[in-house]
Amino acid sequence: MKTWTFIKYDVKQQLRDRSTIFWMLLFPIVLIFGLGTMLSAIFSTEFSLPVTDVAYVETSTEEYRAPLESFLTSDDLSDFLTLRPYDSVAEAERAVNDGDADVILLLDGPDVTLLYEEPTTVEFDVLEAVLTQYTAIANQQITLAEAGVSAPFESIAFLDSTSVDLSGRTPTSLEYFTVTISIMTALFGAFYITGMLNEERPMRGSYLRIQAAPVRLIDYRLARTVSRYTLIFLQLVLVFWFSHFVYRSFSLDHVRLELLVIGWGALALYGTAFGFFISSLPRLAYSTKDAIVNGFVAIIMILSGGYVPGFDQVTLHYAPWARYVFMPIFMRDGLLSILLRGGDMSLFWQSLGWLSLHVLVFAVLSLLLWKGVTRRGAL
Amino acid sequence: MSIIALDHVTKRFGETVALDDFSLHVEEGALFGLLGPNGAGKTTAISVMLNLYPADSGSIRIFDRSMPKDELAIKQRVGIVPQHVSVYDQLTVFENIQFFAELYGFKPDEAKQKTAAALDFVELSGHQKKRPPELSGGLLRRLNIACGIVHEPELIFMDEPTVAIDPQSRNTILENIRELNRRGATIIYTSHYMEEVELLCDRIAIVDEGKIIAEGTQDELKDRVMTLETARIKVDAVTPGLLARLESLERVRKVEYHEPFLEVSLEKDTPLAPLLDALHETRTRFTSITVDRPSLNTVFLALTGKTLRE
C-alpha cells in the first residue's frame, strides 16, 4: 500500500518536472526525428535515387549481351544508372576503388552477377534491391531471348519500400540508433539509483520525513526504482512507437514483442545492478559516484558506437574482448535480432546470457562492498 | 507517565560527541522545550529518538516501547516538523499533505479529509492548489507543520519551526502549537529563541555540548541560579534619608541611584510592600516600579558562562 503511494506520487512529480520531461521523453524523440529526417528520403517514394555508376563487364555473346544492354539503357533506368563498360573485372575493380564506379555488373555467358562492397547503409540496401530486380528481369529477358520468345519489357516501379527485402539485412542507421537509445535508456537506471541514494542522506530535505515515517527503507527504494523505470518504460514505448510509425523502420509483424519486453526488463536490471554497484563504492562522495556513472555511460556509449555509429568496429578491432564486456555491443545485436525478420534468435539469448553474467557480477560486488563498508562503519 | 524516556544515550560523529550521556524524561501531555545554542545537540537528540541516527549506546523508550526494536509502531504515532522546510516542489500544497497522510496509512479518501482539516488548522486552505515555490517563507513553514501533523500524532517533535519568518506567521505558528497541545498532543519544542520557549513551554531542558545541564519549570530553573532580584523605581528626585531608609530594610542588599532610576537589590521573592512604605514615608514621588526577574538567557549564562546566541 505504502509502496503504491510512493510510486503514485513519485511518477506524478517526475511527469511534472520539465527537465525530466525534456531529457526522458522529448530529447530522444528530437534526436530520432533529426536522424530520421536525414534518412527519411530513403523511405520516400518521391526520393530520387542518386545516379549509380555501374561498371559493366561483359564476356558474353551477342544473344545475351544485346537484350541486357537494351534493358539497362532504357529510359526507365537511365535516369539513375550509368553504364560504364570495362574490359575486365580487374579494371572494373580499379574503377570502384578510384571512385569512378559504385558497383560491378558482370555478364558472363548467360550469368549476370552483381559485385559490390559489403553494404553498411540503407542506400545500399535499396540499391541492392533495385539491381536484384534488374538482374532478375535481365535474366528473364535473356532466357526469353535464348528461347527465341519475344516478350515486351514492362516498365515497373523499382523504388518502393516493399521492394526492399528486410530479411537478414544489415540494420539501418535509424534502427541502429533506436536500439542504442533503448540501451542508453536502460543505463539511465544507474543514474536513478545513485541519484536516489544521493537523496537519502539523513536529516536532509524531504527524505527526513520519509525517515521519520513508519516506512521500511526497502519499500521506499523498491517503489522509487519501480517509479523511475515506469518512466523509462514510457520512453522506450514512445521511442519505438515513433521509430515504427513515423519511419517504418521496424515492421511490427516481425517484432517478437514478448522477447523485446524481456530484453528491456533485463536491461533495466542491468542499470539497477550497476547503480547499486557504484553507490556501494566506499569512501566516495555521492557527487563523485554520480560523476563515475555519468563518465561510465558516456565512455561505454562512445566505444560501443552509440554516439558515432560504426565506432564499435574500431573498438572491436583493437579490443575484440569488448564484444563480451561492453553491454551496448552485445545487447544491440541481441535486440536487433528480434526486431528484424530472420534475425538470429540464438544471438538474442546469447546476449541475455552475457547480460545476466554482468548483473550477477555487479550484484556480488555490491553485496561484498556493502558488507565491507557497513563493517567498517563508514555509513 | 513518561512518554519519552532516554537514559544515558551517547551519539558520536567521528571524533565529535553530539550526545554525551544524555538522559531525558518527558511526561504525556507536556509542552516541553529543548533550549540551547546552535550545535548544542537538540536536533541530534530528536534524530536519535526517531532512530534517524542510531544511538551508539543508551536506552530509548517512547510510548513505553523500545527504539529501534519497535521503530515502525512508534513512528506511526509520532509527527515531526523539521527545522528546514521538507516538502516536494513538484506537488501542490494539498498533494504534499495528502501524500504524508497516505504514508501514515490513511486511504486516499480519508487522507483527503485529514488534509483538508490540516489545511484549515494552519490556515492554508486558500493556497492548496499552489506549489511550494509559490509560497512565502511563512506559508511554507505552515505547510511544513501541516505535513507533520496531518496524521494527528500523539507526540510531535518541532525543531525550530519559526526560524526566519515574519512576526505575524510566528504568532500564528505559536498559537497552532498551543492548540495542538490543548488537543492532547505531547510536544517537544526545540529552539534557541529563549523568548519562544519561555512563552510556550511548561517544562524546559537546557542543552549544551550534547548534555542536559538543567531541567525543570521556568521558575525552578531560575531559582537554581538567582539569589537576587532588582527593583527599578523611576523617581522624580531622591529625597534626603531615602537611601538610608531603604538600606535599613530587611532583605535589601544594596541601593544605588542612577538618575532617574533607583535600583534596589533584593533577596529573591522579597515582598515589595516595605519598599513602597519607605517611599511613602519619605514623600518620594515615583512614576513606575519594575522588578527584573532572571531570563532563561541569564540562567544559561550562569550555568555555562556563555549566552544562548554565542
* pLDDT tens-digit readout, A308-325: 666 778 888 889 898 888
B242 versus B79: which is more confidently predicted?
A: B79
Shortest CB distance from B76 goes to which of A17, A214, A216? A214
B88–A9 C-beta distance less than 8 A: yes
Best CA proximity match to B228, nearest among B198, B263, B269? B269
Choose, out of B83, B89, B103, B130, the residue to mutate when testing the contact with A (most A CBs < 10 Å): B103
Task: Over range A72-90, report the average pLDDT.
Answer: 77
User: How far off is chain B from A220, nearest CA to CA, in Å?
Assistant: 11
B230 touches chain A (CB under 8 A): no
pLDDT of A248 above 80: no
Residue B253 has pLDDT above 70, yes or no: yes
CB-CB under 8 Å, A9 with B95? yes
List Cα–Cα distances, A137 to A58, A154, B250, in angstroms: 17, 10, 132
Cβ-contact A59, A108 below 8 angstroms: yes
- Torsion angle of alpha carbons A49, A52, A58, A61, nearest 10°? 30
pLDDT digits (tens, 9 = 90+) for A187-216: 777 777 777 777 776 666 778 888 899 998
Stretch A220-248: mean pLDDT: 79
Contact B82 A13 (CB under 8 A): no
Q: Which chain B residues are closer than 8 Å to A14 by Cβ?
A: 90
Between A200 and A295, residue with greater pLDDT: A295
Measured at the alpha carbon of residue A4, what is the angle toward residues A210 and A23, in degrees to the nearest 5?
A: 80
Total-model pTM: 0.69
Instruction: Report d(CA B252, CA B247) in Å as an integer.
Output: 6
Cα–Cα distance between B4 and B10 in angstroms, integer? 16
Is the separation of the CB atoms in A335 and A354 below 8 Å? no
Nearest residue, CB atoms, A206 vs list B87, B104, B105 = B87
The answer to whether A13 contacts B103, with C-beta atoms less than 8 Å apart, is no
How far is residue B97's CA from residue B122's CA, in Å, rounded to a whole number?
12
% helix, strand, coil for chain A, step of 5: 70, 5, 25
**CB contact at 8 A, A115 and A69:** no
CB contacts of B103 in chain A (<8 Å) are: 2, 5, 210, 213-215
ipTM > 0.90 (yes/no): no
Say yes or no to pLDDT of A238 above 90.
no
Cβ pairs A/B, distance under 8 A = 68
Residues A7-34: what's their mean pLDDT? 80
B50 contacts chain A (CB < 8 A): yes
Question: What would the mean pLDDT of A259-270 be, rounded to a whole number?
Answer: 85
Q: Does the pLDDT of residue A353 top 80, yes or no?
A: yes
Arithmetic mean of pLDDT, B234-240: 82
Among A2, A9, A206, the residue with its CB nearest the CB of B86 is: A206
The answer, yes or no, to whether residue A141 has pLDDT greater than 90, is: no
pLDDT at A42 over 70: no
Instruction: Give the model's pLDDT for residue A284.
Output: 80
Q: What mean pLDDT is predicted for residues A44-51?
A: 51
Percent of chain A's residues with pLDDT above 90: 6
The strand pairing partners of B31, in sequence order, are B187
Q: Is the pLDDT of residue B250 over 70?
A: yes
pLDDT at position A379: 37
pLDDT at A308: 66
Give the pLDDT mean for B33-47: 88
Q: Does the pLDDT value for residue B233 go beyond 70? A: yes
Q: List Cα–Cα distances, A317 to A173, A327, A338, B37, in angstroms.
A: 20, 17, 26, 66
pLDDT at B263 over 90: no
Picking from A209, A220, A374, A379 by the largest number of B CB atoms within 10 A of its own CB, the best residue to mutate is A209
- In degrees, rounded to 5, the angle at the alpha carbon of residue A222 between the alpha carbons of residues B74 and A348 is 165
**pLDDT band of B308, cuts 50, 70, 90:** low
